[in-house]
Every structure is written in C-alpha cells, then in structure tokens.
C-alpha cells in the first residue's frame, strides 16, 4: 500500500481484515512507526482498532522501503497524494515517484505483478504517466509482465470503513484482463454494480462524482438563500424535492445531449433568477444555467459548421420526441442560426404539422418562425434526399436507423445520441461523445 494517508490507511486496515497480508509504504517515518506500533495514523471510526488487531496478528506492517514491499507482495495499491496547485493543475510528483519505485523493484521480481491506482488523477494519467514510468524503470512490458488497473475509491470521511465494504459501485479501469480479474476478486461481496472500463473512463468517474456533489451542495445552498428572505422553510422545500425519485433524485436529465428547452425550463429558470434579483439575492449557479445552455447550443452550431457542408436535413424540431411543442425548442434556435450562416435546410418532424398546430404553438410559429414552416417536409426521405449533412434533433425512435437511409460518407450529427450503432457511418459526430 503505497501511501499511508487517509485512503491508504483505511484500505490497509480493511484488506488486512479480509485476510490479506498488507505492507504499508510511506516516506514519513512517523506514519510508519505508528502503524508498526499498532496505532492508526489517521482519525477514523474503527480504523484504530483494526490496525491494532492486525498488526498484532502479523497481517499488517509498514516500511519506508518501497522496493522491499514490492518484492514481498503480488499487488500494489498506489494511494499517494496528488495535491492541487494554485491554477488547478495537479502535482504528480508523488505519483511519478511511486510509479518509478514500483518499476525499479519489478526489475528484480519474477512473475506477474498488478498495480492498482487509487489516487484521484485526471483522465490520461494512468496511461501516460504511470504505465510508461513503470515500464521505463523495470524494463518490463505492460500487459505481459505486469498489469495496471485504475480503481477509484468512494470513501467518505467518518464512514470510510462502512463505505469500503458497501461501495456505491466498483469501477475497474484497465485493458489487461488478468489484472481486472485479480482486482475483481478483492471487491467486497454485495450487490454493488461492478464495471470494467477503459482507464480514462474510470479516472473521469471520480471527478464527475465530486463535481456533482459540489453542485448539489451549491444548489441546495442557493435555494436556501432565496427562501430565507421569502420566509419559506428551505428544508421543507428540499425535503419535498427529494421525495421525487422519478425525476429529481434519479438518472433523468443527466445524459449529455442537446441543450434544454421547452415551455417550462427556460421560463422558470429566468423567473426564479428574476425573483432572486428583486430580493437582492445572488444565485451564481442558477444564474449561469442559461449561460451554460447557450454555450452548449453554440457548440452544436460549431459542430455543424465545421463540416463545411451547405445542404442540411434536420430530423426533429420539437424540443423532445412525442410532442409538437416548439416553444423555446433549442432546435428552432439552432435552425435559425444555421439559416443565418447561409445553410440550406429541409426539416422533418412527424409531430410538427402546421395544419394541426393550435393555441400557443400556432401563435409561436406565426409570431416567431413563420419561415421555418416553409422548410418543413412531409417525409423523412424528403429531408434526407440531397442533404450532405443530417442533424438529429430529438430522440424520435424513427431516427435511430438513420444509417439505413443515408450513404456511409454522409455527415450525421446526432445531438441526442439516438443512434446506437454508428459503425457504418464514416462521418458520424455526437454532441458531447
């Protein structure tokens, strides 16, 4: 266990409890001496008792000598720090040193060895820093003589031991099946989902988790700041909010795709921000929702313009499949911008039929985009014919088979990831994937 900080100390104690022989490695002599004296180097429920017991039983020890530890073991966990710098960049000094030390030790080790990175590192780190450093120092080949796994941890302080044995998920990032099997065998029993993915996916997961947690905290706090001057119980509001596990506390709306739109979300976000300003309350997260949405729409336009084509067929105009509602539909705005850039458009949406539009939808068309009505075609084939680029604007199931209707070199830009198999499309692009 390279690194006897928070993650390393907890992991060492838990793996020793599971019956493994664990050697902790740290350059800090104080931490090493504490472990060898049966004392925990961190304050965390249950860890002190576990360290004391398993040191006395001979299953847990510590040293400052990484070579000695590597040469006496079959697997190494890398739990060294990756401190942040003032500009946000990470300092990989400790990670590079640990990787080099592992490699130097493996130069004199016979047999296969597995290295598990548990340090929180940015995507590309395992592939571009850890593996090359080990190979260079050892003279051995990754995937043949040793395997590296990225295995992010999801431990919370004050409940780390419980989290170790009941993780929300087990993520194994590797391209080496042998090492994946070894790490899978170490996973605690239970029903936590286990996934094996490329290194970069496993590395990114931890950052997505922590950013989401930070966003939730900031969101809850902003709701509280607005509720306070309105004399509303913010905890009652958020308690009710959290009751909804169908949409609010769920996977809904969390997949990358097109910008948000429709008759509710944009209007209500603007109204809430207006109400906050009228009470002199600053809500940076909520205020910047529309800024983020606008940036995403601009990214979609750039993706289209970068193809360099002029004749475009749009499949899906309403803000989501199964409706004819065009009010604040992001595809309407995108179509407007495409026209402004001189592109020639044909638009097909089976749910948008001007002859049947009534009420707010009819008024929206008449007042805001009457010229788009002239671009609507009756059949999907009409929009495809003669188009060099097809833009998929909503998730109508009929659009998922676009590959069966276009030439293999036709540009297809999928803004909602409706295409499941794009292997037959040479010029397929996604917005955020």
Residues 303 and 415 in one domain: yes
Give residue-wise pLDDT tens across range 46-76. 999 999 999 999 999 999 999 999 999 999 9
User: Cα 268–271–275 angle (5° rounding)?
Assistant: 140
User: Cα 90–113–151 angle (5° rounding)?
Assistant: 40
Residues 186 and 300 in one domain: no
Residues 193 and 312 in one domain: no
| Residues identified as active-site | 264
CATH number at 135 reads: 3.40.50.720
Mean pLDDT of 1-25: 97
User: Cα 288–255–305 angle (5° rounding)?
Assistant: 70
The backbone region for 251, taken as left when phi is positive above 0, alpha when psi lies in -120 to 50, beta otherwise, is: alpha
pTM of the model: 0.89
Residues 151 and 11 in one domain: yes
Q: What is the tally of structural domains in the chain?
A: 2
Separation between Cα atoms, residue 29 and residue 247, nearest integer Å: 51
Range of the domain at 136: 6-198
Sheet of 146-150: strand order equals 75-78, 113-117, 146-150, 170-173, 194-197
Number of other residues whose CB lies within 10 A of the CB of residue 276 = 19
> Which residue did the predictor score with more confidence, 409 or 263?
409
For residue 360, what pLDDT is reported? 64
- pLDDT value at 256 more than 90: yes
For residue 114, what pLDDT is reported? 98
Three-state DSSP class for 393?
coil
For residue 344, what pLDDT is reported? 97
The conformation of residue 114, written as its DSSP 8-state character, comes to E
Domain boundary among 150, 169, 198: 198
Give residue-wise pLDDT tens across range 116-136. 999 999 999 999 999 999 999
Domain boundary among 157, 178, 198: 198
Give residue-wise pLDDT tens across range 336-377. 999 999 999 999 998 886 655 666 667 777 777 788 878 999
**Low-confidence winner among 316-325, 354-363, 390-399 (lowest mean pLDDT):** 354-363
Domain boundary among 155, 178, 198: 198
For residue 359, what pLDDT is reported? 65
Looking up tokens 């302080």, which residue turns up?
Answer: 157
> What is the average pLDDT value for the chain, to the nearest integer?
94
101-to-67, 92, 225, 343 alpha-carbon distances in Å: 7, 14, 50, 58
Helix pair angle (131-138, 93-106), 10° resolution:
40
Give residue-wise pLDDT tens across range 412-429. 999 999 998 899 999 999
């Amino acid at each position: 266990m390279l690194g006897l900080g928070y993650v390393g100390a907890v992991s060492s104690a838990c793996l020793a409890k599971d019956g493994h022989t664990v050697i902790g490695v740290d350059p800090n002599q104080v931490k090493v001496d504490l472990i060898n004296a049966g004392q925990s180097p961190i304050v965390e429920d249950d860890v002190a008792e576990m360290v004391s017991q398993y040191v006395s039983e001979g299953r847990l020890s510590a040293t400052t000598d990484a070579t000695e530890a590597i040469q006496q073991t079959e697997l190494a966990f890398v739990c060294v720090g990756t401190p942040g710098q003032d500009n946000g960049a990470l300092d990989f000094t400790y990670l590079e040193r640990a990787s080099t030390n592992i490699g130097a030790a493996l130069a004199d080790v016979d047999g296969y060895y597995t290295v598990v990175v548990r340090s929180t590192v940015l995507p590309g780190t395992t592939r571009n820093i850890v593996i090359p450093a080990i190979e260079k120092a050892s003279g051995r080949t990754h995937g043949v003589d040793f395997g590296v796994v990225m295995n992010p941890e999801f431990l919370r302080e004050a409940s780390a031991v419980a989290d170790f044995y009941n993780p929300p998920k087990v993520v194994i990032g590797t391209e080496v099946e042998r090492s994946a099997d070894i790490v899978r065998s170490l996973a605690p029993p239970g029903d936590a989902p286990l996934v094996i993915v490329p290194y970069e996916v496993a590395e990114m997961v931890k950052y997505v988790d922590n950013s989401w947690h930070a966003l939730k905290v900031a969101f809850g706090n902003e709701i509280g700041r607005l509720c306070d001057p309105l004399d509303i119980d913010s905890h009652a509001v958020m308690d009710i909010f959290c009751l909804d596990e169908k949409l609010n506390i769920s996977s809904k709306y969390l997949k990358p795709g097109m910008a948000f739109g429709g008759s509710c979300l944009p209007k209500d976000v603007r109204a809430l921000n207006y109400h906050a300003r009228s009470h002199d309350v600053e809500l940076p997260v909520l205020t910047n929702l529309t800024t983020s949405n606008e940036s995403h729409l601009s990214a979609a336009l750039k993706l289209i313009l970068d193809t360099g084509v002029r004749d475009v067929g749009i499949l899906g105009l309403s803000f989501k499949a199964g409706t004819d509602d065009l009010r604040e539909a992001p595809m309407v705005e995108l179509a407007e911008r495409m026209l402004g850039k001189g592109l020639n458009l044909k638009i097909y949406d089976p749910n948008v039929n001007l002859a049947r539009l009534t009420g707010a939808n009819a008024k929206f068309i008449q007042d805001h985009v009457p010229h788009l009505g002239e671009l609507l075609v009756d059949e999907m084939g009409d929009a495809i014919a003669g188009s060099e680029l097809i833009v998929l604007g909503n998730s109508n199931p009929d659009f998922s088979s676009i590959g069966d209707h276009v030439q293999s070199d036709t540009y297809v830009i999928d803004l909602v990831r409706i295409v499941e198999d794009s292997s037959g499309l040479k010029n397929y692009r996604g917005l955020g994937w």
